[in-house]
Structure 1
């Protein structure tokens, strides 16, 4: 199957040692499991060190602890008859499958077994259990296995029929199209969905203590006021404002007590609204980036790659995955991103939505939302974007290329199975085109971020690592 890929773009800066990001990837967040009450906070006016970033990263994971191989071996149950690996309780005793079957057959035959060595005390182990049936049966009975617990042939057949029926019922509860996918493809989608649920706080309930614009329209003062930009900075920001878009973003915050705070950008075009929102945007971006990093690390496909390639993939794709997640909370009818208690609204002085389409980022969100994608399609898009072999610094390109191919084929198969209607026959091509557009937006965004950072440094340490921003 031939699939289209996003075109290669060499916009992401590279070549800077990844220190904080390296610590993010090197220490698995799964080693520090947290419950649903985990509180991932962005703290204002603090200097974040390596421990802070690793701790915050761990807090956003709510998955189960993965025990290492040594710990699993210690907990492995052994057969009470022969010492082989047990599979569960059979006829009242923890045994292996072999001893379970032997005991059932021996009891049904009801044959008088005798020890060929005339000892009656043969040692029964995994290697010797076939040498003496009489002593093996004696060991089964001495271990506590009970003949009366053996089911009749009719009862066994009835139980097998029940298991088959329940299996059919489980398959019937799956989305209709999922039944047309291979088992490998279904497992791939399940792993992606599980990682998404564990690492994407769709309610943004753990996003706390973030910085807000200096003054909200309700006249509430926010602690930690920001210094005003210099005249030179304001002029440069004004130029950047014109480059970016004439559309402005307002912010609404719903308090826990029911109060509502609103921030609307200034009516002029001085660039002040960019400056006032920078700290908040940095906090929100960092929060989202941490979730993306954890998403990648939950995936077995990602963990199996060398850490250098993990870092290169994250530096290239984190912004793109962030936009895909933001699109899931985008309300195209209202022009708002609804992030829990926070709501970001597009302010259009012209009173229409036409000029929104002049800005590539806004056009992307509207066009992607129009496709009405399933959650499975969103996470497969994230995987295709993450495993891009042409990111700067990637070494195992062939391996990553094969992974991306598998995710793309799975997405195509999912669409064909779950969306058989003629209206969706070009959906896969549209999605791949959107990923290509997102790659272009990523390059543009990086350049704009570097220009703003050069005027007024605002990026958090994690943002600096991801976008390879050097000090000075």
Structure 2
């Protein structure tokens, strides 16, 4: 009998589970971590891999209907050591990683479940009716419509061939590599022939133009989503400022070739060496490459890519948003749709940890965005600021 992955108690108590007896490692032997605080996780609780502490905290908060208030700026860092310092931000983190209120069982349902377990231990086969999550993973009509809207918005506003990106002047000494050739590591830059090695920062104008081109596509993608257009303009701006660079990376992953470690943008091919020539440092470029390799290996469908983009866009934890509840509700719908789609289109065992892996990669992406912004500002501190387009400057301000 398969143990439901979204039940209130984790699957670690099932005698047929293939995980360790403590439930803290996955099938690959990697230690599981709580998506909320980073502590050691014990399994899936309310739809998300969490520890017992965050599982209990989320359940108590929802059942009691408590309304927390952050005494700071609603952007507190939630870690194992700091998770008790701000209940408001901890609860928001629970929601943002995908924990579901509707998965919480009532006290009566819990009582029936405990009675059922007790009977099993005593050898009593009398039936006890208890609540269990439905095994049907089919998408609802509302979820299918959401995917259709997002997919249409993506197709209309993302030029995967980069055919429209032709207004820039490529650097005179730019070295174009063949898409079939494997990119050399960053520390082998000196192996390029001197006559084709561009000066550092020679790729900077191209980077600024390419970033602006992709930012414009993200803005048009967002504007094509009705629930985004319905928000106040200030909230729209705040969401775009907070999410655009992350969405660009998700879109960029769709043209990433993991065999060559290159981004194939139509007739042009870019590698992390080009990023180094724009002035970016290894501390950003190496994790960036690792992120794209990891995301590409998941073999996501187009629907999953667009749902990821929307999940990042509708983030209620930005400081300046006013319609926080509406944004939170939209993000929750997107997260549930993504999980349902994965459950339907990626059957077990292959899709077992796919949703959890995506959430972890989104956390990595947030860290990459912070470092990316820091390095852009650092680069332009030493360069002519005219190379930064007004739109790029506005996004990272």
TM-score range, shorter chain: 0.5 to 0.7
Could you tell me which of 342, 362, 374 is aligned with 2:268?
342
Give the equivalent residue in structure 1 for 2:250.
324
Distance in 1 of aligned mates of 2:210 and 2:189: 17
User: In 2 relative to 1, CA 4–311 (structure 1 residues): closer, same or farther, beyond 3 Å?
Assistant: farther
The structure whose RCO (Cα within 8 Å, separation 6+) is larger is 1
Contact 2:139–2:341 (Cα < 8 Å) also in 1: yes
Give the equivalent residue in structure 2 for 1:202.
160
In the alignment of these two chains, the number of paired residues is 251
Deviations 1:316-365 (A, max 9, x none): 100000000000000000111110011113559xxxxxx99981111100
User: In 2 relative to 1, CA 264–441 (structure 1 residues): closer, same or farther, beyond 3 Å?
Assistant: farther
The 5 Å alignment of 1:68-467 reads 180-216=138-174, 246=187, 265-266=197-198, 272-273=199-200, 275-347=201-273, 359-456=286-383, 457=385, 458-467=387-396
User: In 2 relative to 1, CA 372–313 (structure 1 residues): closer, same or farther, beyond 3 Å?
Assistant: same
Contact 1:356–1:363 (Cα < 8 Å) also in 2: no
* Residue 211 of structure 1, CA deviation: 2.5
User: In 2 relative to 1, CA 246–444 (structure 1 residues): closer, same or farther, beyond 3 Å?
Assistant: farther
Contact 1:316–1:392 (Cα < 8 Å) also in 2: no
Alpha-carbon RMSD across the aligned residues, in angstroms, is 3.1
Gaps of 5+ in 2: 1-5, 7-45, 50-73, 78-135, 177-185, 275-281
* Residue 392 of structure 1, CA deviation: 3.1
Give the secondary-structure state (helix, strand or coil) at the position aligned to 1:205.
coil
User: In 2 relative to 1, CA 379–208 (structure 1 residues): closer, same or farther, beyond 3 Å?
Assistant: same
Deviations 1:411-461 (A, max 9, x none): 000000111131211100000111111011111111111111111122101
* Residue 306 of structure 1, CA deviation: 0.5
Distance in 2 of aligned mates of 1:451 and 1:347: 18
Distance in 1 of aligned mates of 2:190 and 2:163: 22
The TM-score, its normalising length taken from structure 1, stands at 0.49
Give the equivalent residue in structure 1 for 2:103.
none
User: In 2 relative to 1, CA 308–248 (structure 1 residues): closer, same or farther, beyond 3 Å?
Assistant: farther
Distance in 2 of aligned mates of 1:249 and 1:284: 26
* Residue 265 of structure 1, CA deviation: 3.9
Gaps of 5+ in 1: 12-177, 219-244, 251-262, 267-271, 349-354
